[in-house]
Structure 1
């Protein structure tokens, strides 16, 4: 193996190694999820060298400089205040979901009007309308980090693969017998995973359009988030909730799974053992959404009781309760840096919160109906909100 070059990943912190093996270029990542501005770079380089043979003594100084850059990024103060930039009359019927490409230069919207639209973030110009589905376009995704393909999942039971540059449809994946409610690309962008209300998940080959595998599961979670399926067999059945599951998510290294439920709780599970390690309580109504921050250190929950909560993924204690919305919170997400939380509510507002203090930093107002989708771009300096009022708003 021969190391060719390094790539830096800011969120979550890590270093990507590009190396040659057997005449082919390959990559692997060194995840630095516990990195802080106080971490000793020399000690960390020594630890990395012990576990990674590609990092030789001659490369140690380069790795140290990359760690310095990651620490400098972490140490930057975030005082960004978002300003309304533009409202897009995106669709003739309500939106279902919004998603950025890796660079944040483009985003996509799905809708009950059976289309997905591609937008230029900087200008708000519509680039393409992806037409062809015969029912609601519910799940959408770019094949990040590449951003040259788009997948759309629909209540018409099909998934379509599109060229992000031209809007051309490459493939229509047929095989599900009920609505498709979640989808995801694998990191290499060679496979698409789809989850359906028919209680199956399917894997599709991006190049050929052929079905690779079908997985039968006990429950397909009705959510716009879909974790990519890495195993072609059932590893564990996670049993413990007393109500429907609203969302499920892996942490970055896939060591933990968090589930939110209509039973008003969240549960934290070990991936390897399938054991429930904690039940996160405190909400008075259904938990409608749940997510990890990118480093996997904290968990955020959103509830029909109009509050959100932030929990420690290690101690499982509630760190802060976010109060201020006048209606149920249906969507929650962390900023890439992990120090801010964004919530979307039926009270027609989205709110930005400080994770440590629980203070509401900003109320994003202007939508005339409930907001049920919100997302940060990769740098965390742009927000898109999607609403039942058929519009999306860009905030810089």
Structure 2
């Protein structure tokens, strides 16, 4: 094995190792979930080197520098207020979803006008229009942390894989028999998972464009899905009121079906160390996205506002006002210092 590159992961704290084995590039992570401002960096580095043979003396100082950066992030206070930076007339029809790349330097918007657009965050310039779907573009994602590819899922029952840099379409994934409403890249950017109104989820190979497996087990539409941080598990949430945890390598469900909600599940997500799964439901028990630090909740509403909430107290810290119609989608960037809101008024707004 040969170490090729190190990546920092601020949320949750950790370091990714890109390494070569048997002629193939692979990735593993070192999770530092218990890192605090008081952690002894030298002692932690010694523990990491003892457990991970890829961390040799030649890269020890680089790893130490990354740990120090993570410590600095952990100690930062989160008292930011957001102000409107720019409003963009993004599409000719209402927006469906918005998403940032990892750095927050660009973002994507999907729309009922059947296109996805890539935007420069700082300038508000439209970089590319991704055209080719024959119906609403509903689900969108960058392949973070890399950010060089975009996946789009459509009501036309297909998912498309694009170059974020050129706008070229690499593949069209066909196989679902109903609308695609959710999708996600695995952390290694080797797979795309799609969830559909046909009750199925599918895994697709990014390199070859071929279907890897079909995940069958739900009895109603799959509305949300999420990979864990290592990419070996996928959780799906469905209108059948349940969530299912899947083994990515086999395409089979593992453990038990997660039950308990009295309404349709609208969102599923792993916690930091992937020991827990959070589910949101239309039974009104939960609905929100978190900032990367986990200290703030961002909600979008039919009341034309987005609101920032404190996780610890439940207090509303700020209402983001200005849209003239209901807000369909909202997202934090990776740093948690920028917000995008997408609305039925056909605009998106950037908040710093």
TM-score (normalizing by structure 1):
0.76
Flag structure 1 segments of 5+ consecutive residues without an equivalent.
265-285, 288-300, 303-331
Q: Which residue of 1 aligns with 2:239?
A: none
Distance 1:56 1:14, change over 3 A: same
Supply the distance in 2 between the matched residues of 1:257 and 1:49 (Cα, whole angstroms). 31
Match of 1:385 in 2: 341
Over the aligned positions, Cα root-mean-square deviation in angstroms equals 2.4
Gaps of 5+ in 2: 235-247
Answer yes or no: is 1:239 the counterpart of 2:259: yes
Q: What is the CA-CA distance between 1:108 and the residue it aligns to?
A: 0.7
For this pair of structures, how many residues does the alignment match? 332
Deviation at residue 158 of structure 1 after TM alignment: 0.9
Change (3 A) 1:345 1:338: same
Partner of 1:154: 154
Q: How far is 1:20 from its partner?
A: 4.5
> Structure 2: how far apart are the matches of 1:190 and 1:63?
25
Partner residue, 1:281: none
TM superposition score normalised by structure 2:
0.85
Alignment of 1:1-396 (within 5 A): 1-3=1-3, 6-22=6-22, 25-55=25-55, 63-219=63-219, 222-223=222-223, 226-227=226-227, 229=234, 230-231=248-249, 232-235=251-254, 236-262=256-282, 264=283, 286-287=284-285, 301-302=286-287, 332-396=288-352
**Quick check: 1:222–1:247 contact (8 Å CA) kept in 2?**
no
Q: 1:37 to 1:195 in 2, by over 3 A?
A: same
Counterparts in 2 of 1:64 and 1:136: CA distance versus 1, 3 Å:
same
Q: Distance in 2 between matches of 1:16 and 1:93?
A: 40
* Aligned twin of 2:242: none
- Structure 1 residue 155: deviation in Å? 1.0
Change (3 A) 1:54 1:189: closer
In structure 2, relative to structure 1, the CA distance for the partners of 1:148 and 1:9 (3 Å cut) is same
Higher RCO (C-alpha 8 Å, min separation 6):
2
Question: In structure 1, what is the Cα distance between the partners aligned to 2:226 and 2:61?
Answer: 39
The 2-side partners of 1:59 and 1:93 are apart by 51
Deviation of the 1:64 alpha carbon: 4.2
Q: Quick check: 1:221–1:248 contact (8 Å CA) kept in 2?
A: no
Residue 312 of structure 1 corresponds to none
My pick for the range that moved more, 115-124 or 246-255, is 246-255
Deviations 1:228-269 (A, max 9, x none): 74241121322333332222112244332222233x4xxxxx
Q: 1:57 to 1:89 in 2, by over 3 A?
A: closer
How far does the alpha carbon of each residue in 1:135-188 deviate from its partner, in whole angstroms, 9 at most, with x for none?
111101111122221111111111111221222222211111111111112222
How far, CA to CA, are the matches of 1:175 and 1:154 in structure 2? 12
